[in-house]
Structure 1
Amino acid sequence: MDAQGARRPCENRVGLALVKEARLTIHDPGRLALRRGIRLAIGTPIILILLLHLLSDPIGIPFGLFFLTSAVGTADFSGTAKVRLLACVVAGVACVPVIALGMASTVNLYLLVFVTLVLGFVLFFIGVLRGLVAAGAPIVISQLAVAVTSSATLAQWPAILTGLTTGAIVSALCLLFVLPTDRRRHVRDGIAGALDAMSHLARLAWGDLSNHAALKAAEQDVQEAVTAVHREFGGQPFRPAGVSRRDRALMQLVARVRVLRQMQLVLVRQARSIIPGTRALGMNSGDAMETSARALHDPSESLPNIGAFPQLLDDHYDSCTQWVMSQAASHVSADTIVTELQRAHATRVVSMLTEQVASLVHDVRGAVTDPMSDRAEQVRPWWRDLLLNANTRSPWLFSALRGSVAIAIGAGVVHFAGISYGLWVLLGVIAVLRVDVLSTRRAAWQVVWGTAVGASVGTGIILLSDFMNWQGLLWVLLPVTALIVGWASGSPNSVAVSQTAFSAMVLIAFALIEWPTDLILGLTRLENMGLGALVAILCAVLLWPHGVMGFLGRVTATAVRSCARMASTAVGVLAGDVPIEKIPAIESIARLDLSNSVEAIDLALVQRGNGSRLGPWMRVGDSTRALMSYGKLLTHIVQREAVILPVSLKSAVLTSTHASELVWNQLAEECATAQPTSFPPDTSDAFEPLPVDLDQVLVAADHLDLTDRAHATALCVSVWAIDWLHLLNQLSDDARHSLTSDSRAVASAASAT
């Protein structure tokens, strides 16, 4: 059979075609930002027509328009029709008390600052919950900004509620009927294509090994699929302000697929193990990959059976032990036995990673499953998320404090100075404040000059409309500017374009509300946005100047060290030097530190941090999770069966562990000082399994009675423990390279200047 004939039918390779075209949609995968812009372009004029002409409620227009802009342009709720409708209803209800408190506080400067500070902190901190609650926070924050700067009074409450209700209804209709889409489908299909290609390769790997062309073609398909997913994810990382628990599982799934690809290379590029049960384990992994791919691609397909993995792995464990005993009885050399155990271990690693992938697919589909023992991260209840982040080590706490202080100062300045159109000051604060001082300064420059250009364009359009004596021009161009606002907001690097379009849209809307309009309004907007940018810069400099980016390296280094300590402790338990009772406390600390690291990355994304700068940290997180799994795996083995390592094997395992500790400590040191600026390339195809040093194990094996089950078990576990550490060290080197190569480039550029 030739290479072409060995390929599976196209219709069975779900999602692969979509993955291969990812390069065409890298800046707007799935055309999600374009869809957002179209919804905004349709909803904006509808709200103006309803409130201005049908309901005669100009007071409610700011509340309605900003609800729409936030719900469609920022939150962009996705999911089923029921979820999208419920999200708008809940967000609208949550806005009512916030608006009431905000407006009531305007009677006194100190009360205004206090109320804005408290409400702002709650709304910024609630992002830690993620899901629809967190996704709705930008809507409520925008309503708070309108309320504390509005000239309306509580006596006009019915008009305000009318505007808010109109905005919520129009937003819900746009989300339900205007190009509804699941914003994660593109990524799910990409992962499905990668898993399907890996499934095909797994079956070929356990089939006719003489068909090298077919294997090479299948391997190339896998690489193209994984690279496309990496490119897609790197170009458009998820924004966890709207990430649900399913989305979080999808983020982990992207990382797991890449690691699974690397480990599959180890299996494919070596001879297959002849130990009984190994082929069945490998074929089960291939079946699970295919089932997972179908489950991701089509919600009606059945979920992968993750219950079969533990029993298969345990059976294979026993089979390996029995095989070692039988081979020793037949006087087979220790070198042959150790080589076969190492080959079998590659299949075990792929199987264990496939089990994790299958479990994450259950999470993505919303299925309820028992948490796996080797999952580095587990879905926590919402109250645990709040408690874990209500401490001085949490980046969410510092970020919420800084954000709330900034908008409180902005509101106080507006109230104290009696600034007209003070809402624009708060919008300037919110638009400019970013992850650190550097990002805030850059955003301030983009916001200011974008506002200047937009104000000029908007004023020009108003003048042209007045010259032509045709207001219809304003109605024609309003949805055009709204379309650009929604479309440009999809990229964190298009702040200036978005602000240009938004400024023009605001001026056109004001002209439609009150004609003829004041032509100085554009200059007023520029001044107020500039003032808001100044407040944001001052808060960024004085409050947590390095922001989450300065925090990220430190917490990631701590997470690496904690997970390395857990892995070393698990080895100590295996060697009999550490009581197993110590594992839960050390594991708890490692989980917390790893969680803080992940939270820092998520927060940086929420604050519109550059995804390219965060890419290397994501790579480190992927490797650290694998290290965490190693510790859990060894603990499971010891809990399953008492393993007593002879002194010679114990020495070999501890020697490899100490060498691995140096590798991971080196990664932790790099994390503490690295300043990456670009997303690392996908290096999974270049992952070459290096030969592992098993000389000590071979020497020890020659002096063991391998016909004895205790010695046979000890040999199996020792070979696997050392081989796992060897593979993990290569993942660590890969992660360290993604940090150091970029940091060296930055240092080189700095020295050149």
Structure 2
Amino acid sequence: MTRGRRDGGRVHPGQVPGGALAWLRGRDPGLAALRRALRAAILTPLVLAGTYFGLDRPDIAVFAAFGTLVLTLFVDFGGPMRERIAGQTALILATTVITCLGTLAGRTLWLTGSVTFVIAFCVLFSGIVSSALAGATTSLLFAYILPVTLGGPLGAIPAHAAGWGLGGAASMIAVTLMWPVPASEPLRVAGAHACALLAGRLRAEVDCAPDPAVHGQALDTAVREARQGVADLRKTFYGTPYRPTGLSLSSRAVVRLVDQVIWLGSVLHRDPPRNRDALSELMVCETKMATVELLEHSAALLQADVSVPHGLDPHVTRLEEARSRLEESMIGLLPRRSAVPVARAGNGTAPAAAPGPADILIGSLGPSFRAQSMSYVVSAIAGNVQLAVTARQRSRRDRLLGRRPPGSDSALSSVRERFAAHLSRNSVWLHNSLRGAAALSLAVVIAHLTGLDHAFWVASGTLAVLRSNAVSTGQTVRRALLGTVLGFVVGAPLILALGAHPVVLWLLLPVAILLVGMETAVTAFTAGQAGFTVVLLVLFSIIDPEGWQLGLVRIEDVALGCAVSLVVGLLLWPLGAAAALGRVLCDALGDGARYLRGAVVTGLALCDRAGAADPAVSDDDRRRALASARRLDDAFREYLSERGTKHLALADVTALVDAVTILRLTSDAVTDLWSRAGQAPGHGRAAAGQEILDSCESLTSWFESAGRALAGGGAAPGRPLSRPVVQAALRGSVSRDLRAGTEQGTATAVRMVWMADHLDTMRRLQAEIDGPVSAAAASVRRQRARRRDLRAGLTWPRPPTARAGTRPGSPRRD
């Protein structure tokens, strides 16, 4: 055995206990699973003993023991203690009501099946509201499954509710007193860290501008750290099975911040264009420094999570003033530049080729466009940070009265948006909810029809093995049955040997519960299922001794539940999350492309009085793009958590998901660009507008074709064109605006060029995801070909005599 040294009473990491603890922390971050398992292992036997011996009511004891086990082992709310207590209280009340409904529904068969489907669907589908509610679905379903399968008269409702209420009271003790988890918000911490690193990267870029040779190494280091910070934020965001958000204003603001930080990282990833004009470079640097200060203070405020007087308002004001001065400098300097005479060639006989006014404008707006994009997204980040901190620091009275900070939406409107987003045929959450509800209702009905004494195990077996595709469900069926058999092999001899010694059974119960609790972090699913079998064997042997026959009954019931789960998986969703992800990506890319097209059309309408656009149409496009993004988030998480072989590299899938985010936020930026513009004077921009519109159509058509290819609706669109958007018609329109000499005309020219730059950015995004799109489309075609071959192999062969024009069994015609 490895030995460690001791110095001054300190035990060095070389010792076995330290190494074991480090290994456990690596498998169970924060020891969350161990904390839940210890709570359940201690409290469940205590509550069972108190109700069984103290009250002498086995019916209350069953519900008290399961209530304690379910409410402490299968759910663990996060956040401050106040929010945890509120969440646990709401869960106890909800599960108690559901327990009563389950007792009522278990009396007649037709009522059992229909009510089970409705309740299971509502519980599963309501998880889209918040991650806390999604994490509590197992507890809510067990609270219904237990009474509806055990049955009982109407007079049993008080006993069932009392038992479950006692279990809930024990769980409240566990949450508040037994190793309460430290308040932590990893998403907020990761977001603050990423913002700080991005601010450092931008500051290093400003420092490097005067002398790249001196500060180049520092800039390279800052670039690497910023990319790693964004990658860590993405990993934290997608590291949970559910979208880490709730109905609180603070959590919603932090989640919105994630997309904006990812987009800011993509904006900074592009190398800054060089600007040889000293005055323009000065204005760009001023805007960058204002952006850096706002981003640094946003990161510090988000990290500290403490409201300060005026918050970020002074820094936001400074950035807005810097943006205005940058735009005004571009508008004011360009007409004077165009008046500079063109230099002649060295021999004085012919003029040298020099750019015209439009070329000067277009060439000088590159650095300012990047600075304008950065300032826009950082302003949005600061707004969400300010909202998150302000909402959290509200008084209790303001929370109770529903008073919200200005510019924030209500929790009810957020719920409506989330439900509306997932009422779609391509919603992974809707598929999972329908499939789970159908499987549980079918399992309960079959258990009642067959007259099984322990129908609860049929439903619990169905719930345990139901996965997102038939293949994964089949694999989990094998593991569940193997675990149940192993649990029977271990538990049956124990029951036989220790049946006459109930004290030993009581001592064995917490050990089995501890094994079940550590299944998600340390042990495998099979071991957890074996532990759950031992827990049930011991628990029911204590309450209602039946001997080793109970283990055989459990094996039969679990096998039936697994069969139900496999059949429902084959019927409702045999292809799993990978196929669903392709369809949701198709919707998201298509809706994002339509939103970009609508934003460009709206901007072009403001460029020329002859144009007209309906702002409501653009708002509808934005809502559809947001809804698709929400469905994509859930489909991507389901894809990450799904067992089995992944046919695509994770980096390629992540690039496609990020592309949807960048496409949507770029459309937001185009909309914001023209929201601050007045009506442009005169006409004459139709040709330039048509050129920009044609380029936009080419871009959006490519994204739509890529989406269809990801869903299996065609081949990949191929490598997009790399030519810039700015062409002759746009140069001509800009030249006319400069010759007119009006400030509004020049401002319109600047915005037209910036909008064209946004479209060029989308072209670069197309080039970046062209490889992942082609790889994903090829994988979809291969999977479809395999499924066709499988169906062909399963098709019943026709008899040799069954040819065209004949029927099987008819005489042959010579």
CA drift of 1:650 comes to 2.9
Distance, in Å, in 1 between the alignment partners of 2:341 and 2:47 is 85
Matched, 1:413 2:446: yes
Task: Identify the residue that residue 15 of structure 1 maps to in structure 2.
Answer: none
Distance 1:500 1:271, change over 3 A: farther
Task: Identify the residue that residue 457 of structure 2 maps to in structure 1.
Answer: 424
Distance 1:465 1:101, change over 3 A: same
Contact kept, 8 Å, 2:257 with 2:384, in 1: the verdict is yes
Matches within 5 A, 1:591-610: 591-592=623-624, 594-599=626-631, 601-602=633-634, 605=637, 609-610=641-642
Distance, in Å, in 1 between the alignment partners of 2:709 and 2:562 is 34
Contact kept, 8 Å, 1:435 with 1:604, in 2: the verdict is no
Give the 3-state SS of the residue equivalent to 2:240 in structure 1.
coil
Distance, in Å, in 1 between the alignment partners of 2:461 and 2:746 is 68
Matched, 1:130 2:130: yes
The match for 2:364 among 325, 332, 340 is 340
Task: Identify the residue that residue 710 of structure 2 maps to in structure 1.
Answer: 671
User: Which one is further off, 526-535 or 573-582?
Assistant: 573-582
Distance, in Å, in 1 between the alignment partners of 2:709 and 2:134 is 33
Superimposed CA distance per residue, residues 310-335 of structure 1 (whole angstroms, 9 cap, x where no aligned partner): 55544433333223234334469544
Distance, in Å, in 1 between the alignment partners of 2:25 and 2:445 is 44
CA drift of 1:256 comes to 3.1
Contact kept, 8 Å, 1:342 with 1:719, in 2: the verdict is no
Task: Identify the residue that residue 437 of structure 2 maps to in structure 1.
Answer: 404
Task: Identify the residue that residue 760 of structure 2 maps to in structure 1.
Answer: 726
Contact kept, 8 Å, 2:577 with 2:638, in 1: the verdict is no
CA drift of 1:282 comes to 1.6
Length-normalised TM-score, structure 2:
0.77
Distance, in Å, in 2 between the alignment partners of 1:268 and 1:182 is 43
Contact kept, 8 Å, 2:593 with 2:663, in 1: the verdict is yes
CA drift of 1:145 comes to 0.2
Alignment-mate amino acid for residue 626 of structure 1: I
Give the 3-state SS of the residue equivalent to 1:488 in structure 2.
coil
Task: Identify the residue that residue 6 of structure 2 maps to in structure 1.
Answer: none
CA drift of 1:175 comes to 2.0
Matched, 1:239 2:250: no
Task: Identify the residue that residue 619 of structure 2 maps to in structure 1.
Answer: 587
Distance, in Å, in 2 between the alignment partners of 1:581 and 1:82 is 49
The match for 1:482 among 497, 507, 513 is 513
Task: Identify the residue that residue 563 of structure 1 maps to in structure 2.
Answer: 592
Distance, in Å, in 2 between the alignment partners of 1:74 and 1:283 is 49
Distance 1:702 1:581, change over 3 A: closer
Length-normalised TM-score, structure 1:
0.82
CA drift of 1:356 comes to 2.8
> What percentage of aligned pairs have identical amino acids?
21
Alignment-mate amino acid for residue 99 of structure 1: T
Contact kept, 8 Å, 1:59 with 1:152, in 2: the verdict is no
Matched, 1:537 2:543: no
Larger relative CO (CA 8 A, sep 6+): 1 or 2? 1
CA drift of 1:264 comes to 1.2
Matches within 5 A, 1:587-666: 587-592=619-624, 594-599=626-631, 601-602=633-634, 605=637, 609-610=641-642, 619-639=655-675, 640-643=677-680, 646-647=685-686, 649-666=688-705
Distance 1:581 1:455, change over 3 A: farther
Distance, in Å, in 1 between the alignment partners of 2:321 and 2:723 is 30
Give the 3-state SS of the residue equivalent to 1:75 in structure 2.
coil
Contact kept, 8 Å, 1:548 with 1:600, in 2: the verdict is no
Distance 1:563 1:751, change over 3 A: closer
CA drift of 1:495 comes to 3.4
The match for 1:506 among 536, 541, 556 is 536
Distance, in Å, in 2 between the alignment partners of 1:638 and 1:661 is 20
User: Which one is further off, 742-751 or 363-372?
Assistant: 742-751
Distance, in Å, in 1 between the alignment partners of 2:652 and 2:387 is 25
CA drift of 1:535 comes to 1.0
Alignment-mate amino acid for residue 597 of structure 2: S
Task: Identify the residue that residue 41 of structure 2 maps to in structure 1.
Answer: 41
Distance 1:635 1:750, change over 3 A: closer
Distance 1:535 1:69, change over 3 A: same
Give the 3-state SS of the residue equivalent to 1:206 in structure 2.
helix
CA drift of 1:238 comes to 4.1
Alignment-mate amino acid for residue 598 of structure 1: R
Give the 3-state SS of the residue equivalent to 2:738 in structure 1.
coil
Number of residue equivalences: 710
Contact kept, 8 Å, 1:454 with 1:500, in 2: the verdict is yes
Distance 1:383 1:552, change over 3 A: same
CA drift of 1:164 comes to 0.7
Task: Identify the residue that residue 221 of structure 2 maps to in structure 1.
Answer: 217
Distance, in Å, in 2 between the alignment partners of 1:215 and 1:606 is 38
Distance, in Å, in 1 between the alignment partners of 2:171 and 2:322 is 50
Distance, in Å, in 1 between the alignment partners of 2:450 and 2:276 is 77
Distance 1:283 1:454, change over 3 A: farther
Distance 1:52 1:318, change over 3 A: farther
User: Which one is further off, 327-336 or 33-42?
Assistant: 327-336
Task: Identify the residue that residue 284 of structure 2 maps to in structure 1.
Answer: 278
Distance, in Å, in 1 between the alignment partners of 2:88 and 2:639 is 22
Superimposed CA distance per residue, residues 338-367 of structure 1 (whole angstroms, 9 cap, x where no aligned partner): 233111111121222222333333455445
Contact kept, 8 Å, 2:488 with 2:551, in 1: the verdict is yes
- 5+ residue gaps, structure 1, are 1-21, 676-689
Give the 3-state SS of the residue equivalent to 1:380 in structure 2.
helix
Task: Identify the residue that residue 352 of structure 1 maps to in structure 2.
Answer: 376
Distance, in Å, in 1 between the alignment partners of 2:695 and 2:679 is 21
Distance, in Å, in 1 between the alignment partners of 2:247 and 2:638 is 13
Give the 3-state SS of the residue equivalent to 2:468 in structure 1.
coil
Task: Identify the residue that residue 193 of structure 1 maps to in structure 2.
Answer: 193
Superimposed CA distance per residue, residues 263-319 of structure 1 (whole angstroms, 9 cap, x where no aligned partner): 112255756985254333222322232223223322225454485355554443333
CA drift of 1:148 comes to 0.6
Distance, in Å, in 2 between the alignment partners of 1:294 and 1:472 is 56
Task: Identify the residue that residue 318 of structure 1 maps to in structure 2.
Answer: 328
Matches within 5 A, 1:128-207: 128-130=128-130, 132-181=132-181, 185-207=185-207
CA drift of 1:595 comes to 0.8
Alignment-mate amino acid for residue 120 of structure 2: G
CA drift of 1:336 comes to 4.6
Give the 3-state SS of the residue equivalent to 1:523 in structure 2.
helix
Distance 1:622 1:25, change over 3 A: farther
Distance 1:437 1:543, change over 3 A: same
Give the 3-state SS of the residue equivalent to 1:705 in structure 2.
helix
Distance 1:487 1:728, change over 3 A: farther
Contact kept, 8 Å, 1:132 with 1:244, in 2: the verdict is no
Distance, in Å, in 2 between the alignment partners of 1:402 and 1:751 is 26
CA drift of 1:427 comes to 0.8
CA drift of 1:171 comes to 1.5
Distance, in Å, in 2 between the alignment partners of 1:260 and 1:191 is 12
Contact kept, 8 Å, 2:272 with 2:367, in 1: the verdict is no
Q: Which has the larger radius of gyration?
A: 2
Distance 1:670 1:57, change over 3 A: farther
- Alignment RMSD: 4.0
CA drift of 1:168 comes to 0.9
Distance, in Å, in 1 between the alignment partners of 2:453 and 2:506 is 25
Matches within 5 A, 1:374-523: 380-386=413-419, 389=422, 396-462=429-495, 465=498, 474-489=505-520, 494-514=524-544, 518-523=547-552
Alignment-mate amino acid for residue 587 of structure 1: D
Contact kept, 8 Å, 2:457 with 2:557, in 1: the verdict is yes
Give the 3-state SS of the residue equivalent to 2:413 in structure 1.
coil
User: Which one is further off, 448-457 or 534-543?
Assistant: 448-457
